[in-house]
Amino acid sequence: MSPVYPLAFLVGLLSALHCIGMCGGIAGAIGYSLPRKVRDRPSRYVIYQLLFNLGRIGSYAAAGALFGWLGAGLMRHAALGWLEHLMRLLAATVLVGIGLYIGGWLPGFAVIERIGIPLWRWLEPVRQHLLPVDSPGAALLIGVVWGWIPCGLVYSMLIGAPVQGGALGGALYMALFGLGSLPAMLATGLLAGRLNALGRDRRLQSVAGITLIGLALFTLYYQGYNGLLVPPSD
């Protein structure tokens, strides 16, 4: 298996502090919107939180499938063979930016989130319409909507989706990223957003950021060793 897929999961896992800081309030609000009969039964509450996150990860996978499909279409053109090398290099380089961002050393990296603001403005009324969450189906749907919230980290990961070999590869890549973020987001939802302070811990942010940068540099080395940085001669 390509190391890109485990790496996508690790990025999701290491982005926990960013996710807690950005989505902790949303997770808490969604949790509080559940009927008391759900909140008072731990087993049902966990199921609803899982449905929220399943919808969110499903949106990531759908975006990955779209980008993977578009990328595969471009790569079929022989004249654009150089584009795959460029995209792989860009995806690995962006991981360095993610590490710097999570570590708190490159706050301007969040500017990429502006890309999704128009879409989120369109989806926000849909999210409001689904509240309060009163059924499993509504929980899944609000999770789907939640997955499209403007997030620089998600957008940055999507840069790697076009070079995953097609729609299925792109979907798997983004789904694994989402699964990596699941433990943190599930814990945040179950604790009703009380992990927000943890998401602002500078020491933990630094450790996560440095680890991500190390993984990104490893990816650059690995891909370069396989002909990325210096494309193979004919």
Identify the residue whose tokens are 């897929």: 5
What is the pTM assigned to this prediction?
0.83
The whole-number pLDDT of residue 228 equals 41
* Residue numbers in the chain where pLDDT is lower than 70: 1-2, 21, 24-25, 77-81, 192-201, 222-234
Position 53 scores a pLDDT of: 93
Non-local CB neighbours of 79 within 8 Å, separated by 6+ positions: none
- Three-state DSSP class for residue 84: helix
Nearest one of 84, 91, 110 to 160, comparing CA atoms: 91
State the pLDDT at residue 61.
98
Is the Cα torsion angle 60, 22, 109, 4 positive or negative in sign? negative
Q: Please report the pLDDT score of residue 14 as a whole number.
A: 85
Cα–Cα distance between 48 and 44 in angstroms, integer?
6
- How much is the pLDDT for 75? 77
According to DSSP, residue 220 is labeled H
| Domain locations in the chain as residue ranges | 4-225
Q: Which amino acid is at 204?
A: L
The full DSSP string for 186-200 is: HHHHHTTTTTHHHHT
- For residue 172, give the amino acid letter: L
Do residues 193 and 19 make contact, with C-beta atoms less than 8 angstroms apart? no
What phi and psi values does residue 2 have, to the nearest 5 degrees?
-60, 140
> How big is the CA angle at 7 (ends 107 and 195), to the nearest 5 degrees?
50
The reported pLDDT for the residue numbered 197 is: 55
- Report helix angle 202-225 to 16-32, nearest 10: 120
